[in-house]
Amino acid sequence: MKDQWIMGIETSCDETAVAIIKNGREIAANVVASQIESHKRFGGVVPEIASRHHVEQITLVLEEALEKAGITYSDLSAIAVTEGPGLVGALLIGVNAAKAVAFAHDIPLVGVHHIAGHIYANRLVEEMEFPLLSLVVSGGHTELVYMEEHGHFEVIGETRDDAAGEAYDKVARTLNLPYPGGPHIDRLAHEGNPSIQLPRAWLEEGSYDFSFSGLKSAVINAVHNAEQRGEKIVPEDLAASFQESVIDVLVTKTERAVEEYQVKQLLLAGGVAANKGLRAALEKKFGNKADIELIIPPLSLCTDNAAMIAAAGSVLFEKGQFASLDLNANPGLDI
Ligand code: KG4
Ligand code: ZN
């Protein structure tokens, strides 16, 4: 049988990424041009700058991916692109590049939801088995997603305010750590003791929703109160206490959902999936259970990349779910 080659394009935020996946699960190329250095001095992603970088990078990244995979456009079975959610100006660069390639080379186009992509990063590690539950924790999303089959996503819980990654980044800023702050807090947390009392938002009984803004505010208040008293807070201890609170809520709610939904697999997805503390806590809870398989992607597939978009696109391609050439960027796209 002829090999299936899917190209993925991801430009929803601050990474210009192109990847090529062979037969649904094999990474032939995975190129990511990060813009983090350009946004760092602003303490967060500046949409205008992001769009400009995507325009400058996209052609180079497309060519590099093809070269790495050792194929040409004519070998591609389909081209998959993140259509949303994300920054509209950033998304548009990827969507227009994908449409241009699809039109010029007469290749089917597939639109992918960014979070579906994060979830499908797991299929590059292990074949999916349904029903499954995915804990999605990124800079813009915190969700528990239940899946009974490919391409169908049921959000059983989501954040009511800040996403987990957003809380990490804001806490990091309070501690004067560079953007993105998640990895810095993670590192500090391992050097500290979780000795500071911080809240945990469990919400109503039975709810799978999350809330991190109260926790974020409690951290900011703890820093300000210490400053006012002329005391110095130990950043390592604050990071450890914050991280413990986040992980406690994430893991406890996930465990309850795993039991209620009787899933065969638990998948971890999104940038915060790179967190060492969270990975270890999930391994400890689910790693040795016979009735559930825990899948955690390698770090490079947790943060934004296009291999995950191609992996999700491969499934949509097989289902015949193509997009037309009037596909548009949709910054508020629902999963
Ligand atoms: O998925 P992602 O790359 O972009 C979005 O779709 O949002 O996630 C980025 C987020 C940032 O908030 C970043 O601080 C966080 O993931 N992050 C981490 C770690 N590595 C990245 N958060 C906690 N611990 C980490 N090790
Ligand atoms: Zn993402």
Ligand 1 residue neighbourhood (C-beta within 6 Å):
13, 138-140, 165, 168-169, 180-183, 186, 270-272, 274-275, 303-304
Q: What percent of the chain has pLDDT over 70?
A: 100
In this chain, the answer to whether the domains covering 5-119+302-318 and 129-296 adopt an identical fold is yes
Mutational pocket test of ligand 1: of 135, 245, 303, 305, the residue with most ligand atoms within 8 Å of the beta carbon: 303
**∠ at Cα 124 (8, 62), nearest 5°?**
25
Distances (CA, A) of 309 to 46, 243, 285, 303: 23, 29, 29, 12
Whether the per-residue pLDDT at 208 is higher than 90: the answer is: yes
Residue-wise pLDDT tens digits, 142-160: 999 999 999 999 999 999 9
Looking at the chain, which runs of residues are DSSP E strands? 5-10, 15-22, 26-34, 78-84, 109-113, 132-137, 142-147, 154-158, 265-269, 293-295
Domain boundaries of the chain, sorted by first residue: 5-119+302-318, 129-296
**Distance from residue 307's CA to the centre of ligand 1 (Å):** 17
**Distance from residue 281's CA to the centre of ligand 2 (Å):** 22
CA distance 147 to 133: 6
If you average pLDDT over residues 82-107, what whole number do you get?
A: 97
Ligand number nearest to the C-alpha of 300: 1
ipTM above 0.85, yes or no: yes
Residue ID of nearest Cα to ligand 1 atom 1: 271
Residue-wise pLDDT tens digits, 103-139: 999 999 999 999 999 999 999 999 999 999 999 999 9
If you average pLDDT over residues 80-84, what whole number do you get?
A: 98
Residue ID of nearest Cα to ligand 1 atom 4: 139
Determine the pLDDT at residue 209.
Answer: 98
User: Do the beta carbons of residue 89 and residue 48 sit within 8 Å?
Assistant: yes
User: Do the beta carbons of residue 101 and residue 72 sit within 8 Å?
Assistant: no
Grouping H, G, I as helix, E, B as strand and the rest as coil, residue 180 is: coil
**Distance from residue 275's CA to the centre of ligand 1 (Å):** 8
Ligand number nearest to the C-alpha of 166: 1
Mutational pocket test of ligand 1: of 168, 184, 276, the residue with most ligand atoms within 8 Å of the beta carbon: 168
Confidence tier at 317 by pLDDT (50, 70, 90): very high
**Distance from residue 225's CA to the centre of ligand 2 (Å):** 34
Residue 277: partners with Cβ closer than 8 Å, 6 or more residues away: 186, 189, 190, 243, 244, 247
Q: Which residues are known binding-site members?
A: 114, 118, 136-140, 169, 182, 186, 275, 304
CA atoms 245, 246, 248, 253: torsion sign:
positive
Q: Which residues are known binding-site members for substrate?
A: 136-140, 169, 182, 186, 275
Nearest CA-CA partner of 53 in 67, 32, 68: 32
**Distance from residue 304's CA to the centre of ligand 2 (Å):** 5
Identify the burial level of 37 via C-beta atoms within 10 angstroms of its C-beta, where 0-12 means exposed, 13-18 middle and 19 or more buried. Answer: exposed
Q: Are strands 132-137 and 78-84 parallel, antiparallel or unpaired?
A: unpaired
| 111: phi then psi, degrees, rounded to nearest 5 | -95, 135
Give the alpha-carbon dihedral of 207, 212, 217, 218, to 10 degrees. Answer: 70
Lowest mean pLDDT among 209-218, 221-230, 302-311: 221-230
Determine the pLDDT at residue 189.
Answer: 98
Residue ID of nearest Cα to ligand 1 atom 8: 271
Residue 5: partners with Cβ closer than 8 Å, 6 or more residues away: 20, 21, 22, 28, 69, 71, 75, 76, 77
Whether the per-residue pLDDT at 75 is higher than 90: the answer is: yes
SS3 track for 115-161: HHHHHHHHHHCCCCCCCEEEEEECCCCEEEEEECCCCCCEEEEEECC
Residue-wise pLDDT tens digits, 37-60: 888 888 888 898 999 999 999 999
Q: Which residues are known binding-site members for Fe cation?
A: 114, 118, 304
Determine the pLDDT at residue 193.
Answer: 97
Pick the CATH number of 129-296 from 3.10.20.80, 1.10.760.10, 3.40.50.300, 3.30.420.40: 3.30.420.40
CA atoms within 13 A on the CB side of 230: 0
For the chain, counts of helices (H) and of strands (E)? 11, 10
Determine the pLDDT at residue 98.
Answer: 98
Q: What percent of the chain has pLDDT over 90?
A: 93
CA distance 242 to 257: 23
Residue range 5-119+302-318 in CATH 3.30.420.40 = yes
CA distance 300 to 302: 6
pTM above 0.90, yes or no: yes
**Distance from residue 181's CA to the centre of ligand 1 (Å):** 8
Grouping H, G, I as helix, E, B as strand and the rest as coil, residue 10 is: strand
Q: Which run of H or of E encompasses 263?
A: none
Average pLDDT, the chain: 96
CA distance 81 to 8: 6
Determine the pLDDT at residue 97.
Answer: 98
Residue with tokens 């990091």, as numbered in its chain: 172
Determine the pLDDT at residue 38.
Answer: 87
